[in-house]
Amino acid sequence: MNTSNHHTDQLDPKRALIDNICAAGEPWTQIIRQGQIFRIVDLEGNQAVDTLFYNAHYAGERYSATHTIRAQNKLYLTTGSKLYSNLGNVMLTITADTCGRHDTLGGACAAESNTVRYALEKFPMHSCRDNFLHALAHDSHCEQLGMSKRDIPSNINFFMNVPVTEAGGLEFVDGISAPGKYVEMRAEMDVLVLISNCPQLNNPCNAYNPTPIRLLIWDSRQ
């Protein structure tokens, strides 16, 4: 399903303030100012992008899956979805989406969940929680906000396909994204974005092959 509103080609990557490649399995952080446009590009397809958002001035306000799902009465995110904070404020609005839907429930992989879901020997494998913890410990923005591991809430999984079964369970299945698909959002407040470009190898969320993503920020629509 293509839910793009076809205006995003007007945003020239050559005029982006930020144009970064995040390597497979690595973390990435950045401040996005109110009104700026943020785009995540799935360069090679089926790459899960675990993402957290915080108020850039107060880490106690952060993205809330509960508030977001309740406000839109939908489990999945796509064009028009508003991302709410735990204080009930709109943090970002998804303005374009060529993938079709994004997961709010699957959470971030961790050593503990890899062990429980797959096998004891999976414990040492690199995980999204490891990436989040690394960023919290080493990123200057996180340090300025006094953030620690207790500041890791439930995250968004962009490009990840996690259908809910009739019995109410979750399934981690092949993605619906493809090379070059992207999701784009407008910041409604100054936000800190914290990304783990998911390193998971135990389920098909990354097609068993983690790949790079592209991250762009523009001041406003051209």
Answer whether residue 170 is part of any domain.
yes
Answer whether residue 5 is part of any domain.
no
Measure the CA–CA gap between 22 and 40, rounded to whole angstroms: 10
Contact between 95 and 37 under an 8 Å Cβ cutoff? The reply is yes
Whether 6 has a pLDDT exceeding 50, the answer reads no
Residue partners of 46: CB distance under 8 A and separation at least 6: 159, 174, 175, 177, 178, 204, 205, 206, 207
Whether 8 has a pLDDT exceeding 80, the answer reads no
User: Percent of the chain beyond pLDDT 90?
Assistant: 65
Answer whether residue 136 is part of any domain.
yes
Going 13 to 19 to 25 to 30, the CA torsion angle's sign is negative
Answer whether residue 204 is part of any domain.
yes
Report the predicted TM-score, pTM, of the whole model to 2 decimal places: 0.88
Answer whether residue 208 is part of any domain.
yes
The domain in which residue 118 lies consists of 17-218
| Lowest pLDDT segment from 43-52, 68-77, 89-98, 167-176 | 167-176
Task: Say what the pLDDT of residue 110 is.
Answer: 58
Answer whether residue 7 is part of any domain.
no
Answer whether residue 131 is part of any domain.
yes
Place of tokens 């992207």: 182
pLDDT tens-place string over residues 139-157: 999 999 999 999 999 999 9
CA 85 to chain centre: 15
Alpha helix (H) ranges present in 49-167? 65-72, 111-117, 128-138, 140-144
Structural domain count of the chain: 1
What's the start-to-end Cα distance of the chain, in Å?
26
Answer whether residue 8 is part of any domain.
no
